[in-house]
Structure formats: structure tokens, C-alpha cells
Amino acid sequence: MTPEPVSVSERRPRPEGAERPRGPDGAGAPGSAGGSAGAGGWAAGTRGASGSAGGAAGAPGWAGDAVPARPAVDLDDPAALAAADPGGMLGQVASAAEQARAALAAAQVAPLVGPEPRSVVVAGMGGSGIAGDVLGALAFFRSPVPVSSVKGDRLPGFVGPTTLLVAVSYSGATDETLAAVEEGLSAGARLVAVCSGGPLEELARQHGAPVVTVAPGRMPRAALWSLAVPVCVAVSAAGVLEPMAEQVRAAAEALELLGPSVPTDSNPAKQAALRLLGKLPVIWGTGQLGAVAATRLRTQCNENAKITATSAPVPESNHNDIMGLEGGLGPGRELVLLRDRGGEHERDARRVIAACEALDVTSPILRNAGSGPPLVRLARLIAFVDHLSGYLGLARGVDPTPIETIFRLKAVLATGADG
């Protein structure tokens, strides 16, 4: 399986059949889509501080004429990275392939086979809840029954005895998820739990429901593949998705390519992080998989890089988000396009072109999902997103792991006091 080229930056997408600029050797001009990109698919269309293509001044991959912020750490210095990342977030992200393989093994021995449901609901919050979004994207074109993701205490009114309720909580102690499970059990839903232990495991076992127990010890957002794989396998076992084992194994291979040992000049995630330094990311995703990856990058920027970001799916982005950018992105924002061309509508390419033209964006940060089965394409996007967010946090001089404000909020809510 050969993925199509991936790049972090390319010039404005061109319509099918349009003539591309040609270089002196007949190849695409540097910086053009399909041009003579460097290692890792980086197209040298960005400008350094001097304003020339690939200018030497400033951080690698910086676009624009302003002098970029200087990264707080050399992303290619292992000792500096280790010192700046005491919580080991980069190592947790780099363990994604190992997580996927271990989670597949755990799910395969769990008693997940059951009757085909008339609806599927995944209940989960935060870094655990994204597993439901992954399932929803994979099931969008394939599932014969509705698949919903719930991020809160309450379940839809249709939940009942013909519903498969998959509860996912890495800690097993998420209040909202536990409340949703209680409601689902009362409605007669069939429960499957995915967790590392805690009250969720106890509740599921009390009701004779299968539990896929995953390895503890990570931040929930860094355990996506530990959680998403069992969720998908559970739904597959119920006859809603095709068998997933081969896709999981192939996806694991796609998760191993952007780790800290890969130098910046060959690592699109590091290049994109440096380009986003000091900017507000405006993230758009195409197709169902790109939309999930866009949401994931926004939330990972929030938690790992400690910055605000916006995200939207294409074409919804053209109906509202674009008005918030009227007049152009400006010097403080950067457009990130996460594209799953295999899942796009035939009009999406033109929609992307038109939006870039309207905003006068000639060189967005771009990552393509490539070819292959859906889970493999998604893995390429998620690997890029997760590594990028960790590198961006470190480049900003912040430790990606702590989420103190979330912990303080949870502590206040745990007191039971009304606001």
C-alpha cells in the first residue's frame, strides 16, 4: 500500500487539469503542489523572514515577512526535549502504534459478540470521547444503523433495549460517562465498557457487561488508540462495521513515522509546529476523517500547546467561519488544512480553492491522509496532529502534560456546590 504524497505546506490548490508552474528542470516549481518537495513531503513554498521562498532567516517553514518567534527548545536535541517534557508527552504520543496493537489484542479476547443493534451510542468525554468521533467517521458511509457520540450526562431519547451503548473512559471515573451509563442501563441498553479500571469497570461487571481493560498510566488524550481500537472492534463484533483487525495493524505502521528521533527537515509535524509558533491555528478538515482530525488538532492545541485554536469541517467552514476571517488571515493566524481526499465530495476540492482565494491564502499548512483503508488514512492525520501539538507546546516553552485548570475545575465540581 503506497500512500499518496503528504506535505505540510503547498501553494493554493489548483483545479484538476490546471497548469502548474514549471521549474527549469521541467518539474513542478518549488513550493507548488506536486513540486520538488524536500524529505517528508515538505513543499518549499513557505517564505523565510527575507520573504524569499524557503528563506534562510527565521524558523524552518515560517511563512510571511515578519520575523517569527524563536522556539524555546531545539526540537532536534533529545536532551533538551527530555528536559522540557518532564511528563513524557512526546513518548506517550510516540507509543500510539504500540497502543493500537495492544488494544487490538485486548479487544479480541473480550466477549464482544452480540446481536446487531438498531442504534449505537458512544458515551465519553474529552480525550476519551474522541474515540466516539473516530467511530462515527468510520461508520458514516458503512454502518446500516445510526451511530451517535454523546459527550455529557444524558443520552438520546431513542436509547433502549436495541441500543449498543459503548462507554469509554480511560480512568473509568468520568462523572458524565458514569451518569450516561446509569441512564442507559435503566433504559435496557446493551453495555460495553472500555476503560483502565475504576467505577466504570465495576459497574459494567455488576451488570454482566463485557469490559475491555486497557493499560493505565497515560494522560487520556495520549491514549486515543488504546480507546478507539476497542470501541471500533466492539461495534464490528456487533455486525455494524466490517472486521477491523487488518486495518488496525496497518494503521499502527502509519503511526510510527513522526516521532522525536525524526529530524525537522524530514518531519512535517515539527515543521508545522515551528510555523504555528506565535499564531492562532485556523483548522479545516475535509471528509469525515479530516473533520475528526481537525477537531482533534484543536483540542490537542488546547491541552498540549495551551493555546486557543478554531476548527471546522469543509464545507461548513465556508458558511460561517470564513466570515470571521473576512479581510484575510492576517499576521496572527495560520490556516491548517487536513484533507482526506478519498472521503471528500467531488466539490470539496473547489470549495477549498475558493476559500483560499477569498482569504488570499497561498500557502496553507497542508496534510493529506493519503490512500488506503479509512482507519489507515485517519492514522496518518492523527499522528501528524498529535505530534504537532506536542512539538508546538515545547517550542512555546510549556510542558505539554499538565492540565491544572481542568483539575481545578474538576475539584470544584466534586464538592457538589452549586454555582
SS3 sequence, 238-249? CCCCCCCHHHHH
Cis before 374? omega within 30: no
Is residue 24 predicted with pLDDT exceeding 70? no
What band does 106 get if pLDDT is binned at 50, 70 and 90? very high
Determine the pLDDT at residue 415.
Answer: 81
- Please state, rounded to an integer, the average pLDDT across all residues of the chain: 86
Is residue 4 predicted with pLDDT exceeding 70? no
Question: Nearest 5°: phi and psi at 64?
Answer: 115, 175
**What is the average pLDDT across 153-160?**
97
Q: Express each pLDDT in 227-254 by its tens digit.
A: 999 999 999 999 999 999 999 999 999 9
* Closest-CA residue to 210 (of 236, 188, 190, 238): 190
What band does 418 get if pLDDT is binned at 50, 70 and 90? low
Kindly give, in sequence order, each residue whose CB lies less than 8 Å from that of residue 5, ignoring residues fewer than 6 positions away: 34, 37, 41, 368
Q: Express each pLDDT in 325-355 by its tens digit.
A: 988 998 899 999 999 999 999 999 999 999 9
Determine the pLDDT at residue 45.
Answer: 33
* Closest-CA residue to 315 (of 286, 342, 280, 283): 286
Percentage of the residues of the chain whose pLDDT score is greater than 70: 83
Q: Express each pLDDT in 268-290 by its tens digit.
A: 999 999 999 999 999 999 999 99
**What is the average pLDDT across 22-27?**
31
Element at 288 (helix H, strand E) = helix 287-300
More confident residue, 29 or 168: 168
**What is the average pLDDT across 111-133?**
95
Q: Where in the chain is the domain with CATH 3.40.50.10490?
A: 39-75+257-395, 96-244
Q: Express each pLDDT in 27-75 by its tens digit.
A: 333 333 333 233 333 332 333 332 333 332 333 333 333 445 799 999 9
Which numeric CATH code is attached to 96-244?
Answer: 3.40.50.10490
Q: Express each pLDDT in 182-212 by its tens digit.
A: 999 999 999 999 999 999 999 999 999 999 9
Q: Express each pLDDT in 359-409 by its tens digit.
A: 999 999 999 999 999 999 999 999 999 999 999 999 999 999 998 999 899
The domain defined by 39-75+257-395 folds into Rossmann fold (3.40.50)
As a whole number of angstroms, the distance between CA 213 and CA 193 comes to: 8
Order the strands of the 211-213 sheet from edge to edge: 147-150, 119-123, 163-169, 190-195, 211-213
How buried is 224 (Cβ within 10 angstroms: 0-12 exposed, 13-18 middle, 19+ buried)?
A: buried
